[in-house]
Structure 1
Amino acid sequence: MTEDSPAQFVLVDRPRPHVALVTLNRPERMNSMAFDVMVPLKKVLDELNSDNTVRAIVLTGAGRGFSSGADHKSAGSVPNVEGLTRPTFALRSMEVLDEVILALRRMHQPVIAAVNGAAIGGGLCLALACDIRVASVGAYFRAAGINNGLTASELGLSFLLPRAIGTSRAFELMLTGRDVTAEEAERIGLVSRAVPESDLLEVCFDMAARIASFSRPGIELTKRTLWSGLDATSLEGHMQAEGLGQLYLRLLTSNFEEAVAARAQQRAPAFTDDK
């Protein structure tokens, strides 16, 4: 495998039991969303999604950027596009990037974005597709499409951003293309918290380890209902889905009884997936 092999652009580590760290590893291009990075990222996400030893995932970038979005100098190779006309090539290219965003949302495991630097354009979309975002104090965010003479709406941004920070703020950020500091991002709810750069990964690992300590179906169903709630058009219908998930775990696992017993005995609960 050569140094420039796409497989080297996405690294996977296991920093804690049941926790995977995925690192975009093209720091010289600020981990831009070239296809040579995004194609192996999708493969890694698919592999981790099927890895039942992994209960939580942290996604970050190498160097000083989380991801700078589209790579305008070295976009890389799009797979399976031989013989296509330019319009169809463009559609297939868009699908490759769309599938990365959707893969993050569909992961069984919660995904924490450890935003270590710039999250620009598509990089902002990557962070928003994660379930939780934590930023280093030097990180910043930008919906960059409008600055490049394009629409700022890309890769689900106009769907995800208003749900994260509200409509007025989303309209402002997408229409002005201005930078959002980590401090502001924390204040407006774009990230859960802003922490010193030296603490970023450990904070995320601690959070991931806490998540991993809970019931697997409990965590998976909580993630599913949170996302489905963002899509819901009816409170009543969504409440029924929530209730069914709660009943499913209450009747088919012994985790509730274990939690009650553990509190009474002043010990950590030992959750299992089955009766």
Structure 2
Amino acid sequence: MTALPLTTDPDERILKTLRTRQQGHVLTVELHAPEQGNTVTEAMLDDLLAVLNHQDPAVKVVVLTGAGDDFCLGGDRAEFAQHLAHDPTAAGVRVSAAKARRVCDALTAHPAVTIARVHGRAIGAGLALALACDLRVGAQDATFRLPELALGLPTAWGGLLPRLISEAGAARVRELILTGRVFTAEEAKALSVLQRTVPADELDAAVTAWARPVLRRPAAALRVTKTLLNSLSAATRLADASLLDAELLAAVVAEAHAARGAD
């Protein structure tokens, strides 16, 4: 798929892993590490926080997409290994995971409507980023996977699990996590992971079709409605154990690292 043409912004010089483009009231944020499949590094989390926390009141729609062949291939395991080499207690993993939670919360709570434009593969953390958006459209040949268990990790990144259970249902999520199998865009739509699927060359048109009516809505009404939707959605989760994501991930990683050292 051809990457979106992104213009150069003066602020882009400080971004190491993203490209941004603002056209009118629409801000496009592109994960831009195509050689690595847009894997989520700590630098990318920092860049995302910088962009999402800079909330221009003129922006009514934020589109999240990825450069190259894939939306996002998940977290950077090499960076996890570096954290462990520096500190076997996985303190660095804990800090990074807490940052991931802030990024996903920022996507969900952003006053603009956030749209995930998904193509290629969306794996692990990539799925979490997409799921944190209000609206999610995927190419018909896009695929999804939750491989954490096979990698010896808990599904504890960015508040993914409660969001996924809320959208798709506990029984179906249990099967996806325990098997770690690949699932298609059509299945993702059936699970409400996506709200729409289109041919890959129609992704931009689908995003525009969603953005057009949103741009006509009064900013205050849009902002309050998003807050209401987020509040009611969170209330249905009763207890949000994902607040423990960073601690759970760090504990499992540290234990696995210690076990390997003892062998």
TM over 0.5: yes
The answer on 1:216 being equivalent to 2:216 is no
Consecutive unaligned residues of structure 2, counting only runs of 5 or more, are: 1-12, 238-263
Residue equivalent to 2:75: 70
Q: 1 CA distance for matches of 2:90 and 2:200?
A: 42
Alpha-carbon displacement from aligned partner over 1:168-196 (angstroms, at most 9, x marks no partner): 11111111111111111122221111111
Distance 1:63 1:75, change over 3 A: farther
Instruction: Indicate conservation of the 8 Å contact 1:134/1:195, yes or no.
Output: yes
Instruction: Indicate conservation of the 8 Å contact 1:6/1:37, yes or no.
Output: no
Paired residues for 1:179-218 under 5 Å:
179-218=182-221
Residue equivalent to 2:46: 39
**TM-score after normalising by structure 1:** 0.75
CA RMSD in angstroms comes to: 2.3
Consecutive unaligned residues of structure 1, counting only runs of 5 or more, are: 235-275
The answer on 1:52 being equivalent to 2:53 is no
Q: Give the one of 230, 235, 244 matched to 2:233.
A: 230
Stretch of structure 1 that moved more, 103-112 or 69-78: 69-78
Paired residues for 1:171-186 under 5 Å:
171-186=174-189
- Higher relative contact order, chain-length normalized (CA < 8 Å, sep 6+): 2
Q: 1 CA distance for matches of 2:201 and 2:189?
A: 18
Residue equivalent to 2:21: 13
Residue equivalent to 1:169: 172
Instruction: Indicate conservation of the 8 Å contact 2:16/2:43, yes or no.
Output: no
Q: 2 CA distance for matches of 1:152 and 1:88?
A: 18
Q: 1 CA distance for matches of 2:71 and 2:90?
A: 30
Residue equivalent to 1:267: none
Alpha-carbon displacement from aligned partner over 1:50-73 (angstroms, at most 9, x marks no partner): 201111111000111111111123
Instruction: Indicate conservation of the 8 Å contact 2:18/2:32, yes or no.
Output: yes
3-state SS of paired residue (2:71): strand
Instruction: Indicate conservation of the 8 Å contact 2:103/2:158, yes or no.
Output: no
Instruction: Indicate conservation of the 8 Å contact 1:35/1:76, yes or no.
Output: no
The one-letter code of the counterpart of 1:43 is A
Alpha-carbon displacement from aligned partner over 1:203-248 (angstroms, at most 9, x marks no partner): 11231222111111221122111111122269xxxxxxxxxxxxxx
3-state SS of paired residue (2:153): coil
Q: 2 CA distance for matches of 1:89 and 1:126?
A: 21
Instruction: Indicate conservation of the 8 Å contact 1:97/1:155, yes or no.
Output: yes
| 1:86 Cα deviation after fit | 4.1
| 1:74 Cα deviation after fit | 5.1
Residue equivalent to 2:251: none
Paired residues for 1:80-99 under 5 Å:
86-99=89-102
The one-letter code of the counterpart of 1:69 is G
The one-letter code of the counterpart of 2:76 is D
**TM-score after normalising by structure 2:** 0.78
Paired residues for 1:96-111 under 5 Å:
96-111=99-114
Alpha-carbon displacement from aligned partner over 1:22-70 (angstroms, at most 9, x marks no partner): 10011111110011222111111111xx201111111000111111111
Instruction: Indicate conservation of the 8 Å contact 1:35/1:77, yes or no.
Output: no
Q: How many equivalent pairs are there?
A: 223
